[in-house]
Amino acid sequence: MIFVVPPILVFLTKHPVVSNFDMTSIEFVLCGAAPAGKDLCEEFVSRFPNVKFMCQGFGMTEIGFSHLPLLSRPIDASCGIIAAACEQKLVDISTGKPVPLGERGEICVRGKTLMTEYLNKPEDTAETIDEEGWLHTGDIGYMNEEGKVFIVDRLKELIKVKGMQVAPAEVEDLLLSHPKISDVAIVGVADERWGERVRAFVVRNDKNLSGEEVRSFVADKLSTFKHISGGVKFVTEFPR
């Protein structure tokens, strides 16, 4: 069993040096701290076929372990279902109203495991826990018909393009599935007309990879407002 964060998962999945080590003893992987997309998880399992179960952990100091990962196949990149001591709802970040099944919203949790307050910080407490006792996690996700929750990104990380919400983690996960890309970071850059544009910083493992190829790869698979309209910058590595 290993516990990892997404950058380590990317390294294990992409870096050739990993092939020099015997990883056959790894059968269970728990990834946490940030979302790891389905494409990345599937690529990891493809490289390490001995992995029987892989799941994403979700929880906060304020709520404890609110969701229970399910040891299921195929790998679905969910963080599981809500724990018995808690209840959840996903709400529109603009209206605060619950979103339909399958649509993205902020994950809100309440139940017996929640904190009482931030000590001596009533304003912070009021911003986090509403009058009905719902704790607003600041995480964006969606729930499928089986009750499984999928984390998309942090609310504060969202890029706002023409009033639309772009989750950097979604675009990063797609680009990490490109065979010529070993690592990537998606950021928003200010734009007078659009509010923000999406920019990609890319570590390539093939020097022939062009910015146009990166842009086209995204354009073929994602909605227009998620396209790499802010440019592609190639870098040799990211500081860790």
Of the residues 140, 155, 170, the one at which a domain ends: 155
DSSP structure class, residue 19: G
Is 10 a domain residue?
no
Tokens 């729930």 locate to 143
Tell me the C-alpha distance between 230 and 119, whole Å. Answer: 42
Report the candidate in 157, 158, 137 with the shortest Cα–Cα distance to residue 149: 137
Tell me what pLDDT residue 68 has: 85
pLDDT digits (tens, 9 = 90+) for 102-133: 999 999 999 998 999 999 999 999 999 999 99
Considering the domain architecture, whether residues 162 and 142 belong to the same structural domain is answered as no
Tokens of residue 17, six digits: 């040096």
Considering the domain architecture, whether residues 182 and 135 belong to the same structural domain is answered as no
Residue 207 has pLDDT above 80, yes or no: yes
Q: What is the CATH number of the domain that holds 105?
A: 2.30.38.10
Tell me the C-alpha distance between 14 and 56, whole Å. Answer: 19
* Cβ atoms of residues 195 and 162 within 8 Å: yes
Tell me the C-alpha distance between 56 and 33, whole Å. Answer: 9
pLDDT digits (tens, 9 = 90+) for 134-159: 999 999 999 999 999 999 888 889 99
Of the residues 108, 124, 155, the one at which a domain ends: 155
Residue 71 has pLDDT above 90, yes or no: no
Per the structure, the count of domains in the chain is 2
Tell me the pLDDT band of 58, cut-offs 50, 70 and 90.
confident
Domain with 125 in it: 84-155
Residue 74 has pLDDT above 80, yes or no: no
Is 63 a domain residue?
no
> What's the Cα-to-Cα distance from 130 to each of 86, 140, 177, rounded to whole Å?
16, 17, 39
Considering the domain architecture, whether residues 166 and 118 belong to the same structural domain is answered as no
Q: Note if the pTM is more than 0.85.
A: no
pLDDT digits (tens, 9 = 90+) for 208-235: 999 999 999 999 999 999 999 999 999 9
Tell me the C-alpha distance between 218 and 220, whole Å. Answer: 5
Considering the domain architecture, whether residues 193 and 172 belong to the same structural domain is answered as yes
Considering the domain architecture, whether residues 150 and 169 belong to the same structural domain is answered as no
Considering the domain architecture, whether residues 216 and 180 belong to the same structural domain is answered as yes
Considering the domain architecture, whether residues 131 and 183 belong to the same structural domain is answered as no
Is 173 a domain residue?
yes
- Phi and psi angles of residue 39, each rounded to the nearest 5 degrees, phi first: -60, -45
Q: What is the CATH number of the domain that holds 175?
A: 3.30.300.30
What strand order describes the sheet that includes 28-31? 2-4, 28-31, 53-56
Tell me the pLDDT band of 69, cut-offs 50, 70 and 90.
confident
Tell me the pLDDT band of 186, cut-offs 50, 70 and 90.
very high
